[in-house]
Structure 1
Amino acid sequence: MILVSYFARYRDQLGVGGEKIALDGSLRTIEDVRLHLCARGPIWQQVLGENSLMCALNHELCTPGAVIEDFDEIAFFPPVTGG
């Protein structure tokens, strides 16, 4: 089982802040999880298909190619800017 969280406008657009997903052999990387979620429909494709999408694995920024394991926490969020 992995925990997936959605932040900022992603949470608003998807209507969910987070969820648990059963980890199976087809989900090896964050990119695999992203594609799995995009298969849910157009709004998921629109939100998680953004080129600027950022992700974190266990509270550390990472690339979509990061390998995941059972009990990992994944977060998807839009880019942020600071001043």
Structure 2
Amino acid sequence: MDEVRDGNPTNCHDMFRMTLDLFYHLVDELKQHGYLKKRKGRVDVQEAVAIFLYIVGHNTRMRPVGDRFQHSTETVSCKFRRVL
């Protein structure tokens, strides 16, 4: 998330198929309406949404996403299902 937030603005569009402002707005809306809540653990709501959008936007499997976000495939699968 740091490279998306602090890097080139096109990184967010390339990874999530939306601008950074729209990504933050989506996360805020999901939290505001109670669809996603902050839980204990290493992965916050922003990263869970990022994992979901990356999988859906690129039609990719859990293992490359785990490598990209530095999480186990079990964590990636859990966060994907949580957002879904």
Tell me if TM exceeds 0.5: no
Compute the TM-score of the two structures, normalised by the length of structure 1. 0.30
Structure (1 or 2) with the greater strand fraction: 1
Q: Larger RCO: Structure 1 or Structure 2 (Cα < 8 Å, ≥ 6 residues apart)?
A: 1
Compute the TM-score of the two structures, normalised by the length of structure 2. 0.29
